Structure 1
């Protein structure tokens, strides 16, 4: 028998998110679940009930009339929560708690703590800008970017208007990026203009130009500066950029925040990931809006016991 390394205290168990969820399910379904194993078995034997319980417990803002929890028990073809509409960004942005929502650290620049109100404002102004640029529901917006707050804001903006997000790391070669983005034909490209690694500066503008030349669908490039504190202080690597390029902060100047994010079908694509491409061109992997929201809620709330004010390192 393996030695138990750690057991939570009775107080921690009593205050755990999972404990609260168990009480909710027991009350709603007239059950007597007690342990993690009980909940797990319930989730795989009463599939529709479990996900319906989780959806109601999450209290996600949504619209529409529910037709069915699960349309068919087959893959592919299963459709969840048919009839409901939802928006990822609306729910994420309205749940930003506390004064700050992101702490960002990048090599060569100061650590930045971004205020929730500033992040929300930039995200919704970006959404207005994307809409003005002609991006419509279902169209794709891509990012060739480091893991930066501006990229997260770009994702929120994209989701707000019902468009579909995709991204690649800036250390990818241009062929690898074009192999991926070329399949989805993005209308807009967010791009980090540069980054530092091991004390060395990497200028990404030549790569970005090559990507744009290889993907005719791109009509505008939104440049993410080398550094920004989301309060007006930023560092730019370039003084001259092509006409169809614009710095993010310049783009959103003069735009009001998007008033009403667009509700989309529960299964509407939220973002597109890719396979490794070891057996040919990378294959697109589409993740639906409602599924991502519920899965993330389950993982972060139930699995990791994340609570308001906690910090998640990614």
Structure 2
């Protein structure tokens, strides 16, 4: 058992000196301050801070003479009168420097320099314009994480049109649920993809999707003549960029959609440019010369974050395929082969690597590892520092809602097991108790009490903002409630305990599910787990633990006794499950999140088809094992 808070890594004086956040602080004239002082200034003086981000990076665009920020949440407006274009800022790198490396399961490797990428974007931009796509139109994509997805996105943004993507492992109904909301003009798709050593034909799915999108003027399928025609412009065509207002829609991303129609979340060009410049440079410590990888699909916001690496001049690595085929170390080997300097993944992959007792090698250039998607337990921190002792581990927590992290790491602060080192610059994160008071050292609701520029500019088809207001501001007027449990420590460190809407409330003791999973999944016999409290308002229900066994494992009476003993001793007698059940798998979204809330609804009598959108799940077949 690894003690939460155990010191695992400290930055050397050389690391602190060379950190990009240190250089920024010196540029500000604040070189003597500690990180906490810099963070406090960034949230107390947001106008000065975000203006400095624009100026420090030399953002390409026309600064307006309006206020940096006006109004309050949920109606805050940023940089009035300013115009810019995301793609113009992303493609300003040295034309001869490597911009993108694309790899897939089949072994294909493709590369593009910044100059080659810009030329390809110009061709596809011209092709979209010929199809009638212009400023404000929507381009929908059903694409894997490949060069074509990146090019099509940047071409869409260059026009001032609006991008929205789903990965081809999404079922037709899930895609239609998303894309019908935004009435796209063009659909760009693939008719098949490869995953886990198998080929999947999606031609019928694409036909079905297109038939249900009457707004389409064209469907373009990559790898067919329609794609060749789209990019058939002269080789001499040069990029052009439509500069748009700061809050002009850049893309539409979606909530998971596992419990209802997915929320179509709209982010603006300016907010994303500033936020990703800040996050990738000051927190991930990325810049020119770095090779940036994050394991993701186009259906997860981490793809949007990954391609943001172009904004800081890095080389981004796109990987299309399984994280465990042909073996559990495939991503680590990819990182070694490509000289990755920052390796990002979901927390479950780090835990899987730990369980497989991997020893990644050949990673001499690796300086940072990012983890997100779910809380990383202290054991995951400790394993990583056991095999890669010199790297900066950044466990980040944020969300699709803001397309970034609220809390994370920074190179000038130490790393402690299970603890996220800091609140990110510009993010005034607090922990609220049930009465709405800010608390330190106690678990509470994660809230953001001042606006950030990458907060949604709106939800699509929500003209009066009602759905947006209800999603984040219903609990605390004027304060963003994110839906996670957080404890903020006296030194500014943070611990995330999982979703607050899936709380375990036993005898009045509230607890996040991450603490539960940390204990249960420490047992080598258990591959995965899910805990559900069926209690309702004023009534204590049953506490049910579901376990998926590791290969060759079985839920014996002896193991049940050991689990109960561990939970009783390390949590409390109140948190011993009423029942422990074995299931063939734990239901997860396509981005790897456990479906606690939908399973709870099923246990309380909601039909499966109403409790969860199976098309947005990685393994919908397991849900039947949770029907009472």
The verdict on a shared fold, with TM-score over 0.5 as the criterion, is: yes
Report which structure shows greater RCO (CA 8 Å, sep ≥6): 1
Between 1:153-162 and 1:278-287, the stretch displaced more is 278-287
1:145 maps to 143
CA, structure 1 residues 274+43, in 2 after alignment: closer, same or farther (shift >3 Å)?
A: same
> Corresponding residue for 1:180?
178
The Cα shift of 1:259 comes to: 4.4
Aligned to 1:81: 79
Q: Is the 8 A contact 1:188 1:222 kept in 2?
A: yes
Q: Distance in 1 between matches of 2:262 and 2:177?
A: 7
- The aligned counterpart of 1:267 is 247
Q: Which residue of 2 aligns with 1:299?
A: 279
Unaligned ranges ≥5, structure 2: 295-628
Cα distance in structure 1, aligned partners of 2:220 and 2:98: 25
Instruction: Give the secondary structure class of the aligned counterpart of 2:67.
Output: strand
Q: How does 1:159-238 map to 2 (within 5 A)?
A: 159-225=157-223
- Deviations along 1:224-253, whole A, 9 cap, x unmatched? 22xxxxxxxxxx6xxxxxxxxx43233212
Mapped partners of 1:309, 1:7: distance in 2: 24
Quick check: 2:126–2:233 contact (8 Å CA) kept in 1? Answer: no
Distance 1:167 1:254 in 2: 24
Partner of 1:233: none
1:68-113 deviation line (CA, Å, top 9, x unaligned): 10011x2221110111000000111112565321111112242222
1:54 alignment partner in structure 2: 53
CA distance in 2, matches of 1:312, 1:172: 26
Aligned to 2:290: 310
In the alignment, is residue 110 of structure 1 matched against residue 108 of structure 2?
Answer: yes
Q: Pairwise mapping of residues 5-24 of structure 1 onto structure 2 (< 5 A)?
A: 5-24=8-27
Q: Deviations over 1:111-138 (max 9, x none)?
A: 2222332211111111111112111101
Contact 2:144 2:168 in 1 (8 A): yes
**Structure 2 counterpart of 1:285:** 265
> Separation in 2 of the partners of 1:312 and 1:279?
33
Post-superposition shift, 1:258? 4.7
Q: Which residue of 2 aligns with 1:252?
A: 231
Kindly provide the CA deviation profile for residues 249-302 of structure 1, in whole angstroms up to 9, marking residues without a partner as x: 332123453543100000001000111223421111001110001111111100
Deviation at 1:150, TM superposition (A): 0.7
User: Aligned with 2:233: secondary structure?
Assistant: coil
Shift of 1:199: 1.8
Distance 1:97 1:3, change over 3 A: farther
**3-state SS of 2:180 partner:** helix
Partners in 2 of 1:75 and 1:3 — Cα distance? 37
SS at match of 2:117: helix
Query: Any conservation in 2 of the 1:128–1:258 contact (CA below 8 Å)?
Result: no
Deviations 1:133-191 (A, max 9, x none): 11110110010011111101001000001000000110111111011000000101111
Which segment is superposed worse, 299-308 or 91-100?
A: 91-100
More helix by share: 1
Q: Residues 71 and 78 of structure 1 are in contact (CA less than 8 Å); yes or no, is this contact kept in structure 2?
A: yes
Shift of 1:11: 2.1
Normalised TM-score (structure 1): 0.87
**TM-score, L = length of structure 2:** 0.45
Structure 2: distance between partners of 1:111 and 1:259: 25
Q: Secondary structure at the match of 1:171?
A: coil
Give secondary structure in 2 for the equivalent of 1:5.
strand
CA distance in 2: counterparts of 1:253 and 1:32, whole angstroms: 51
Aligned partners of 1:64 and 1:15: how far apart in 2? 30
- Give yes or no for contact 1:127–1:257 (8 Å, CA) kept in 2: no
Unaligned runs of 5+ in 1: 226-235, 237-245
Structure number with greater Rg is: 2
| The 10-residue stretch of structure 1 (97-106 or 14-23) with the greater mean CA deviation from structure 2 | 97-106
In the other structure, the counterpart of 1:100 is 98
Deviations 1:183-232 (A, max 9, x none): 0001011112221112211122111110000001111122222xxxxxxx
CA distance in 2, matches of 1:247, 1:21: 46
Bigger mean CA offset, 92-101 vs 158-167: 92-101
Q: Kindly tell me: are residues 279 and 2 of structure 1, through their superposed partners in 2, closer, same or farther at Cα, counting changes over 3 Å?
A: closer
Q: Give the length in aligned residue pairs.
A: 290
Whole-angstrom distance in 1 between the partners of 2:129 and 2:154: 13
CA distance in 2 between counterparts of 1:166 and 1:305 reads 28
